[in-house]
Amino acid sequence: MEGLAVIGVVLLLLVVGYLGVSAVLRRIPATSLRLPTGPIPDTWDGIVEHNVPLARGLSSDEQERLLRLVQLFLAEKHFEGCAGLTLTEEMKVTIAAGACLLLLHLEGPCYPTLRTVLVYPHGFVPKLARSPGTGQIARPPARLIGESWGDGVVVISWDDTIRGARNPDDGENVVLHEFAHQLDAEDGVSDGAPILPPNALRIWGGVLSEEYERLRQDAEHDRPSARARASRTVRAAAGVLPAGSRASNAVHRPMKPTRLIDVSHTIENGMITYPGLPVPVISDWLSRDASQTRYAPGTTFQIGKIELLANTGTYIDAPFHRYEGGQDVADYPLQAVANLEGIVVRATERAGRALDAGVFRGRDVEGNAVLVHTGWDVHWRTERYGTGHPFLTRAAAEHLVGAGAALVGIDSLNIDDASDGARPAHTLLLGAGIPIVEHLCGLRDLPDAGFRFFAVPVKVRGMGSFPVRAFAALEE
């Protein structure tokens, strides 16, 4: 009995000591992070651009800091290929960039408790000895795509890393998930809370609870989040939505539409949308006359067919339009293209063709469908429509990305200058996951604000663009 008592006392002391050390760790201020200053390999930009879409919406300073963090990560951490996998620079940089997104605005060391990253080519079976207590050999557990161990090891499936990283909206990103566990466990306790003083920890808990409830309510009522997708996904993976963030400032007001206003062009046979591109060909597959032999007397049907370029009439662009591996129109969730709070930015009294960031200053674009009214739609189906159209500058696109626009539309031939092969507006907006709607019409009939915007494409896989029936629903 005395032996058991001694063991009990020792265990109690160990638990108390463990909790005490954890509490002390929470009070230790983070040390300043010293980033490398050497040259960044030229190939890294392309790897991150292609494999980590969440990084596309970052500012130039944030992108620079991310690549510096990747340099530090690769210098400090050991990578090891498993199951015959030969690791490449692309694999290491992709995983490191995903992991370092979680550190982008944090001070302190770079995953100080992490030593090794094990990379499997695909899902793996954990090598664990499990005793069911019966003496029988345990059945192998199911395949996993990732694990985070308490002894400084992260295990990752490369196939699932690519699959999750290239689609930022599917809620499945194994790198963010496993490295968020590493951040959580830095103080020795896997409790979902960051390392903060007790008073700040209570404030953080309150903010997180409020934001989670707001997110739950938005999801329940199919309301779009106002926060840019990249930032929202990264912070959600880390378990942090700070007070004052765009998500916490978003206001979603219920409305009862009393009037619907169509702001899309009618598609007709032989109609030119963009000079030089094929026109739609609309015809009967089954005419009414031919159908008489198929149905009862007096009963006829028409079944039409259409040969249609995706960029015809009023259409929406998805990231796949610009980026290989990006979302296509079928990937858009309804909340990204429907029932969005909308604003109209008037640009009919412009000095020239180029619409700069100043056009949008003073307007709250965050979380809104931003519709640019240039009046160019009056030239629709004329030769004038195809030349000299108004467009957004790179600075304007950067402003809209930084301000958190949910969608950007324009009643012009192209949101970019058609003579600029770099297409900066498409590149920046679609890179940030912001849908683009071109060839709108009738924006003069909309108020400056106080309406909901809808631009829903047919759910076609493999299309970067597709026509929409765009319309606005006005509030009472």
Question: For the segment 340-364, what is each residue's pLDDT rounded down to a tens digit?
Answer: 999 999 999 988 999 999 999 899 9
Give the confidence band of 186 by pLDDT, cuts at 50, 70, 90.
confident
pLDDT above 80: residue 169: no
pLDDT at 256: 55
Please tell me the pTM assigned to this model.
Answer: 0.51
pLDDT at 25: 43
Task: Please report how many Cα atoms fall inside a 13 Å half-sphere around the Cα of residue 97, on the Cβ side.
Answer: 28
- The answer to whether residues 197 and 26 touch, using CB atoms and an 8 Å cutoff, is yes
Q: How far apart are CA 98 and CA 106, in angstroms?
A: 15
Residue 217, H or E segment:
helix 198-220
pLDDT above 60: residue 128: no
% of the chain exceeding 70 in pLDDT: 77
Instruction: Give the dihedral sign, CA 176/181/185/190.
Output: positive
Instruction: Give the dihedral sign, CA 406/452/245/109.
Output: negative
Whole-angstrom Cα Rg for the chain: 27
| Cross-strand partners of 144 | 124
pLDDT at 306: 97
Q: How far apart are CA 181 and CA 173, in angstroms?
A: 13
The CATH H-level (homologous superfamily) assignment of domain 27-129+138-195 is Glucose-regulated metallo-peptidase M90, N-terminal domain (1.10.472.150)
Give the confidence band of 144 by pLDDT, cuts at 50, 70, 90.
confident
**Total Cβ atoms within 10 A of residue 47:** 20
Classify residue 317 by its DSSP letter: E
pLDDT above 60: residue 189: yes
267: nearest Cα among 254, 278, 252? 278
Task: Please report how many Cα atoms fall inside a 13 Å half-sphere around the Cα of residue 288, on the Cβ side.
Answer: 3
pLDDT at 314: 98
Comparison of pLDDT for 398 and 24, the residue scoring more: 398
pLDDT above 50: residue 121: yes
Q: Report residue 75 as tokens.
A: 């210098």
No. of helices (H) and no. of strands (E), the chain: 13, 17
Mean pLDDT of 161-182: 82
pLDDT at 141: 58
CB environment 122-152: b (16+ within 10 A), e (fewer): eebeeeeeeeeeeeeeeeeeeebbbbbbeeb
Give the angle subtended at the CA of 279 by the CAs of 274 and 282, to the nearest 5°: 145
- The answer to whether residues 438 and 409 touch, using CB atoms and an 8 Å cutoff, is yes
- The answer to whether residues 256 and 476 touch, using CB atoms and an 8 Å cutoff, is yes
Q: Domain extents for the chain?
A: 27-129+138-195, 315-474
- The answer to whether residues 238 and 359 touch, using CB atoms and an 8 Å cutoff, is no
Mean pLDDT of 384-405: 95
pLDDT above 80: residue 156: yes
pLDDT at 244: 32
Q: For the segment 216-274, what is each residue's pLDDT rounded down to a tens digit?
A: 777 676 665 544 333 443 433 333 333 333 333 333 344 454 799 999 999 999 999 99
% of the chain exceeding 90 in pLDDT: 58
Cα dihedral value 237, 238, 239, 240, nearest 10: -120
Topology (CATH) of 315-474: Glucose Oxidase; domain 1 (3.50.30)
**Mean pLDDT over all residues of the chain?**
82
The burial class, CB within 10 Å (0-12 / 13-18 / 19+), for 179 is buried
Give the confidence band of 470 by pLDDT, cuts at 50, 70, 90.
very high
Comparison of pLDDT for 191 and 301, the residue scoring more: 301
| Cross-strand partners of 457 | 468
Q: Report residue 281 as tokens.
A: 């060909």
pLDDT above 50: residue 30: no
